[in-house]
Structure 1
Amino acid sequence: MARHLERPYALGIDIGGTFTDVVVIEADGTVHVGKGISRPDAFERGIFAILDPMLEGLGLMSADCSAIVHGTTVATNAIIERKGAVTGLITTSGFRDVLELRRIRIPRLYDLEWQKPEPLVPRYLREEVIERMTHDGRVQTPLDAGSVKQATANLRARGVSSIAVCLLNSYVNSAHEEAVREIVRKEAPELYATVSSDLLREMREYERTSTVVINAYITPVVRRYVASLSEGLVSRGYRTPLMIMQSSGGAMSAEIACDRPIHVIESGPAAGTVAAQHLARSIGERNAVALDIGGTTAKAALIENGAISYSSEYEIGGDFSRSGRMAKGGGYVLRAPTLDISEIGAGGGSIVWLDSGGALHVGPQSAGATPGPACYGLGGSDPTLTDACLLLGYLGAPGLADGAIPLDTNRARTALARIAQRLDMDLVDFSHGVYRIAVSNMTRAIRSVSTERGKDPRDYSLVAFGGNGGLFAAAIARELELRRVIIPPAAGIFSAFGALYAEVEHHLTQTVLGLTDAIDVSALEASWGLLERQALATLEREAYSRNRCILERMGELRYHGQLQELSIPWPAGATTRDSLARLSAAFEDAHERTYGHRAHDSMVELVNLRLVARGVQERLRVPERLRFARGRAVPIGERRAYFGSEHGWVNVSICDRSGVGANQRHGPLVIQEFDSTILVPPDFSVRVDDQSNAILLSS
């Protein structure tokens, strides 16, 4: 007889470049949080090092867990650190160098010394096969099976463990790709084989090739990690299936994530943005900037009218990752749905350094979890932003995570002094300069999703989270003249919350190029029918019956002759000439809102159909009202902190969130918590609302 679930709970897990975060939410809304250093050598061990003692101390049983949703940087790290699988590419004869040719875009237009990143698949691991499909899916040259066998043998002999297959025009007719996959599986069953038509049925050869190569490159890494994590969960008695957060803000089963890991590359940033969206809705804030500042990066996204923008394209691996129209060509192109998030290498672990000309920089390199900032005392010697914050008095005893990570002021001073002396600067002024440079860098992430897209950041509130969000939020708001700052409870664990808010979701696309006033309506409906059957079959694998599935149609349109599309909701009901005319009109309105003009005499072209399929949860993972378990009380006291030449050194009160109260309290003040620290400068005030959010306002 099955044991009654006495204390059911949901489990959210988020792995960042520096810290691993765990949140446990019981059915009655009680929230417990855990935080620890990430283990890049074995991320799953870092999870269990936090989770096991946490559940034991709470008296919770693994069998009572009702949901596990996980956001991870495993795929991201594999790409950035070039530690993915040795990957081969099989492509159509004549298209071997698509990865080298890339696109015209470069990140710095007049930088004659810029070098494009090395392809994830070097040329000697790219093989051509004899075949050809036309643009409308007709076979021009039949597939030569012998050339496929030879290509497979060559790649196998060169030591690849994963093979990407991308053939010309396979988005229209995938028969040749499927045949290549079967031959590879027969000739080399030990190799992973990924075909582009399973991932991206859209035109544009470089984008399809880059996407399938990335998927093949990270598949073995993600599969090993998920298998190890799943084994650890099962051995501990967890019964609920593991779900993985997606870059699109949805979730998917671990099984499907292992087949399509391109969808989990930005899962951590997406989780935090989803959590910020729910927070903004709960307090009636329709327009907000979500800013996640961790140990390695700062990520920004806009929430407009309660919604987050999607992008169908992302670049990963550049020094400034961003999505959508502003992508600059500095990284590897990934054609997959993602929340429109801008990311820059600026976090607590960002290394302070001088270039050859003597200019001071903060990041994008990070000390990461290992060895970490110098003040951690874990072997790191490079000066970092965290070291500067410690010397300025913004951080202090007992350290991070209730003293689990003590901070050594002498180590921080020694590391920073090496560079301050080279610049002949006072150490405190130098540290404050480091802080200000970091703030300037972080504002770039916000500007890239606001001012660079015609949005005025002053019309938005700032929702700041992540382990370092509270330390920089006020300074960033001052710089950009943002209306107010909202810092949620458990801000340092916020992305783990977002994972539990995510719905199961899948995006499917199909290119159907044609002018909206001339395209074959019956062919459109047939394409929609195929996409919907595929979507329902995928959700069925994840145990969602038809009555728990929601299908949303979108069209991606452009003016004839343009290169980029806008995504427009598809009119409800059957597709007719009239509904296509309404679709065209909606596109022209969206084009005017986005770019400031419409082309009255231009033809509107449909490029892609996009279907978003969602599974409806039987019960919410996160209760409507949450109650945060009190951690160890922070002793009320004071310490000295430096706020630049205008204010100098001042005495700063130290308290936890419960010591602030509902009335506006003026800075300077440091709100010290288990998972993060909030800095309230002298020109700001703070109060705590009825949902335990810290609200900062400029004086």
Structure 2
Amino acid sequence: MNVYRLGVDIGGTFTDIVLLDENGVLRNKKILSSPDDYSRAIEEGVRELLNTTGVKAEEIVELAHGTTVATNAIIERKGVTVALITTEGFRDVLEIARFRAPRLYDVNFRKPDPLVERRLRFTVPERITASGEVNKPIDIAALNEVVDRCRDANVDAIAVCFINAYVNPQHEEAVGYILREKLPGVSVTLSSELVPQIQEYERTSTTVVNAYIRPVIERYTERLEARLQDIGINVPLNIMQSNGGVLPARVAAEKPIFVIESGPAAGVVGAQRLGQKLGFNNCIVFDMGGTTAKATIVADGAFSMAPETEVGGDAALGHRMTQGAGYLVQAPTIDIAEVGAGGGSIAWIDSGGGIQVGPQSAGAIPGPVCYNQGGTEPTVTDANLHLGYINPDALVGGELSLNREKSEATLSDIATQLRQDTTDTAYGIHLIANARMMRALSSVSSERGLDPAEFPLMAFGGNGGVHVCNLAEALGCPEILVPPAAGLFSALGLLFADTEHQCIRAFYQPFDEIDLASCNMALSTLLAEAEALVARDGYAPNARKVTCFADMRYVGQNTALTLPIPNPPYDTEKLTEIEETFAKAHLATFGYRSDEESVQFVTVKAVGQGISAMPRLPDKVTVPEGVEKTGHRKAYYGDGHGWVDTPIISRKDLNADRRPGPLIVEEYDSTTVVCPSWSAALDGWNNIVMTRTNS
């Protein structure tokens, strides 16, 4: 019997589905997302893919999923009614938050409203000291009154976050027991179970976000599993985490903060693993979809991690490029810069009469005007259609017909307002979208002191190949790589990831005062917990890998760096080595090191991985070609080249010999535009490799 692995990635516009067999043959399906119930589009797409390929449901042995459901629930404020129970005197921690704003001199900026209304923020007299001692026992009478008020308010979930509970969870555990006993059916999240880390606002915010979306994700995963079982797919559902590992759905549903950046992480993992396979350890990763564009960097074979992220903030600025605009979440996250510039980003005229692009997006419904599903505002996709970059008749193998006449009419309207011709307006939209995406690309490369000219640019996503040549020229990147199934590469990247479990514990000790015995005990306990979680997923002892990480900083600093550390036991010599590793990382990140300052642990972590018996990456990925691509069409390449009659080809028409641009490579899931100053070839893994011809 043939065996297949199934990857499903939900985007703001499309849902991407891939089936990968043992020989690296990829079957795929791209379908418009269904925002009212994302699981519906998944069921429809999987059924269609199985029917058209003849693959049987019982032949699927693995299922990985990347989802934006958690993110969307926060951004759209569609979570559940949440109450917060915290220590007396700390009711307004969520309201006070951090003294940060995304734009320094924006007097009109307002923090997002807390996810818990003030009337549902309750306090209880109790106190644990910073050393973990009970200073004031829980006032049970006050707690019972809070329970009654939660019942009367019909809350769906409760977040519990007491001061210093990260040191001693005794009070939170007692309250959790009472709440679950007296309020059955109400979801309860304890900060000490979720993120036992220092910083009361950050821990409170994280606990509240988890409580707010947990019932939403639980219902979603239940619906999705039921739909898949109706098809006959009975393998466990795994969900991509923000840190690049996959997690069983039952765990992800309980702790959804770990899957908030699920979708973007999959593409980065795919790029990093593909780079390792091809023998290059450095690349800039660029993913442009229908709603946003994402960028990150892989250096020395690894992507960088951030100990926290913000969600629900200003997508136009990106999560890592600004802070203070969203809800903070203390969850390890691949460091990704994101901007609101995708194929569905809307072009509009501002109050000064200038043209802007995004961050508002037409999304899947109604989508760009050319999709003919009710869209009325011109988008980047409409501009690219006018410029000749994408097929004028249909996308996704002919399944999505385009209405060019409507698209041209909306572009003409905005061109008239700008007193320009339509081509100049369309190319302007294209270039402005590029400028927005350059912010993300620069933030992960040159703004970190890294020279983009030393990094190839790996581009994927449905629109990545259309824009990549101009972006690479602006960055100075010498080479571009577009992987097979580029428009579905995040779905493919899901299948390259390993199962991962994270165990976290606060360990707030400077190195010059550290208690080595307690440090070794803390890490050894975490290692055992992480390995037990991997064993629970069915991995044999020789298929388990457990590694340690730590958030470290100089004493007095506010920002910590997450770095791998050796497994215990530690002695003084080992700590000195860790201190030197931190100093080098600090120098690379911030441009200096302070050897006279003491280094301290903030948080220690153990990551348990389950190593699959099936190789994560095949030797080669082959995508069966659909309709033969032939002919020419005119495409516009700016003032320097104007309209050029451009050959339309398939990926298989390329080989190891370089073919000069301009070329347009059309595929089922994406389009790659090889501009006149570039040439393209195909490598042994079926990647399109582009290099400059005039350099």
TM-score by length of 1: 0.97
Contact 2:241 2:258 in 1 (8 A): yes
Residue in structure 2 matched with residue 234 of structure 1 by the alignment: 229
Q: CA deviation at 1:449?
A: 1.2
Does the alignment pair 1:525 with 2:512?
Answer: no
Aligned partners of 2:123, 2:350: CA distance in 1, in Å?
Answer: 43
**Code of the aligned partner of 1:415:** T
Match of residue 110 from structure 1: 105
Q: Is 1:558–1:607's contact at 8 Å kept on the other side of the alignment?
A: yes
Does residue 1:206 correspond to 2:214, yes or no?
Answer: no
**1:359-398 equivalences in 2 (<5 Å):** 359-398=354-393
Does structure 1 conserve the Cα–Cα contact (< 8 Å) formed by 2:520 and 2:568? no
How far 1:651 sits from its partner (Å)? 0.9
The answer for the alignment partner of 1:663 in structure 2 is 657
The Cα shift of 1:43 comes to 1.2
Q: Is the 8 A contact 2:296 2:336 kept in 1?
A: yes
- Of the structure 1 ranges 39-48 and 251-260, higher mean CA displacement relative to structure 2 is found in 39-48
Match in the other structure for 2:346: 351
Aligned match for 1:246, one of 231, 241, 244: 241
Distance in 2, Cα, partners of 1:167 & 1:528: 24
Partner of 1:276: 271
Tell me which stretches of 4 or more aligned residues in structure 1 moved more than 4 Å: 321-324
Q: 1:538 to 1:147 in 2, by over 3 A?
A: farther
- Give the equivalent residue in structure 2 for 1:643: 637
User: How far is 1:460 from its partner?
Assistant: 0.9
Any idea what the Cα deviations from partners look like across 1:513-563, whole Å, max 9, x if unmatched? 122122111111221232123222322332224432211112322221111
Q: Is the 1:642–1:648 contact (alpha carbons within 8 Å) kept by the matching residues of 2? A: yes
Contact in 2 for aligned 1:514/1:606 (Cα 8 Å) = yes
Which residue of 2 is the match for residue 674 of structure 1?
A: 668
Q: Which residue of the partner structure matches residue 136 of structure 1?
A: 131
* 2:303 is the alignment partner of 1:288: no
Going from structure 1 to structure 2, the CA distance change for 1:67 and 1:556 (only over 3 Å counts) comes to same
The answer to whether the 8 Å contact 2:341/2:436 transfers is yes
Aligned-residue offset at 1:281: 1.8
Distance 1:150 1:104, change over 3 A: same
Moved more, 288-297 or 89-98: 89-98
Aligned length: 692
Letter in 2 for 1:44: S
- 1:597, distance to aligned residue in structure 2 (A): 2.1
Amino acid at match of 1:695: V
Given the alignment of the two structures, is residue 148 of structure 1 paired with residue 169 of structure 2, yes or no?
no
In 1, the alpha carbon distance for the partners of 2:616 and 2:624 equals 18
Aligned partner of 2:186 in structure 1 is 191
Q: Tell me the residue number matched to 2:565.
A: 570
Aligned residue in 2 for 1:689: 683
The C-alpha deviation readout for 1:198-251, integer Å capped at 9, x for no partner, is 111110011101111111111111111100110111222222111111110000
1:454 equivalenced with 2:449 (yes/no): yes
The 10-residue stretch of structure 1 (464-473 or 517-526) with the greater mean CA deviation from structure 2: 517-526
Match of 1:477 in 2: 472
Does structure 1 conserve the Cα–Cα contact (< 8 Å) formed by 2:524 and 2:568? no
Aligned residue type for 2:77:
R
Partners of 1:247 and 1:337 within 8 A in 2? yes
Three-state SS of the structure 2 residue aligned to 1:473 is helix
Question: Would the aligned equivalents of 1:463 and 1:486 in 2 still touch at CA under 8 Å?
Answer: yes
Query: RMSD between aligned alpha carbons?
Result: 1.5
Instruction: Determine which of 581, 594, 599 is the counterpart of 1:586.
Output: 581
1:491 equivalent in structure 2: 486
1:456–1:156 CA distance, 2 compared to 1 (3 A): farther
1:351 and 1:362 in contact (8 A); partners too: yes
Q: 1:502 Cα shift?
A: 0.8
Which digits, 9 at most, give the CA deviation of each residue in 1:388-417, with x for residues without a partner? 111111112441101111111111112222
Percent identical pairs in the alignment equals 43
> 1:90 aligned to 2:85?
yes
1:322 CA drift (Å): 4.7
Q: For residues 56-87 of structure 1, give each alpha carbon's deviation from its aligned partner in whole angstroms, at most 9, with x where no partner exists.
A: 22221111111000011111111111111121
Q: Distance between the aligned counterparts of 2:637 and 2:574, measured in 1?
A: 59
Deviations 1:475-524 (A, max 9, x none): 11111111111001110010011101110112222122122122111111
Q: After alignment, is 182-191 or 591-600 more displaced?
A: 591-600
Contact 1:90 1:166 in 2 (8 A): yes
* Distance in 2 between residues matched to 1:642 and 1:569, nearest whole Å: 48
Q: Supply the distance in 1 between the matched residues of 2:392 and 2:412 (Cα, whole angstroms).
A: 21
**What amino acid does structure 2 have at the position aligned with 1:638?**
H
Aligned-partner Cα distance in 1 for 2:159–2:399:
44
Distance between the aligned counterparts of 1:337 and 1:515, measured in 2? 22
Kindly provide the amino acid, as one letter, of the partner of residue 299 in structure 1.
K
SS of equivalent to 2:551: strand
Aligned to 1:216: 211
Aligned partners of 1:259, 1:315: CA distance in 2, in Å?
A: 20
Q: Which moved more, 1:126-135 or 1:389-398?
A: 389-398
What is the rounded CA distance, in whole Å, between the counterparts of 1:161 and 1:298 in structure 2? 34
**1:466 and 2:442 are equivalent in the alignment:** no
Q: Secondary structure at the match of 2:395?
A: coil
Distance 1:425 1:627 in 2: 44
Deviation at 1:327, TM superposition (A): 4.3
Q: 2:549·2:563 contact (CA, 8 Å) conserved in 1?
A: yes
Q: Distance in 2 between matches of 1:645 and 1:28?
A: 46
The SS at the match of 1:99 is helix
SS at match of 1:644: coil
Q: CA offset at residue 123 of structure 1?
A: 1.4
Residues 319 and 338 in structure 2, CA contact (< 8 A), matched pair in contact too = no
State the shift of 1:284 in Å.
2.1
Unaligned runs of 5+ in 2: none
Q: State the SS of the aligned residue for 2:150.
A: helix
2: CA distance, partners of 1:322 / 1:435: 20
Aligned residue identity for 2:623: F
Which residue is 1:225 aligned to?
220
Residue pairs, 1:568-647, within 5 angstroms: 568-634=563-629, 636-647=630-641
Query: Aligned-pair distance for 1:474?
Result: 0.5
User: How far off is 1:307 after superposition?
Assistant: 1.0
SS at match of 1:83: coil
Local SS of the residue matching 1:105: coil
Q: Deviations over 1:91-128 (max 9, x none)?
A: 11111111111112211111111111111112122111
Whole-angstrom distance in 1 between the partners of 2:240 and 2:121: 32
Give 1:378's aligned amino acid. Answer: Q
1:516 has 2:507 as partner: no
Find the residue that maps to 1:295 and give its secondary structure: coil
Report the residue type matching 2:188 in the other structure. A
SS in structure 1 at match of 2:539 = coil
Task: Measure, in 1, the Cα distance between the counterparts of 2:354 and 2:96.
Answer: 34
Q: Is the 8 A contact 2:91 2:123 kept in 1?
A: yes
CA contact (8 A) 1:315 1:327 kept: no
Q: Is the contact made by 1:501 and 1:622 (CA closer than 8 Å) also made in structure 2?
A: yes
Report the CA distance shift for 1:401/1:648 in structure 2 as closer, same or farther (over 3 A).
same
Residue 342 of structure 2 is aligned to residue 342 of structure 1: no
Partner of 1:81: 76
SS of 2:626's equivalent in the other structure is coil
Deviation at 1:572, TM superposition (A): 4.7
Q: What is the identity, as a one-letter code, of the residue corresponding to 2:190?
A: V
**Which sits farther off after the overlay, 668-677 or 22-31?**
22-31
Distance 2:638 2:24 in 1: 42
Provide the secondary structure at the position in 1 that maps to 2:111.
Answer: coil
Tell me how far apart the structure 2 counterparts of residues 499 and 304 of structure 1 sit (CA, whole Å).
21
Contact 1:342–1:446 (CA under 8 A) maintained in structure 2: yes
1:163 is matched with 158
Whole-angstrom CA distance in 2 between matches of 1:604 and 1:442? 36
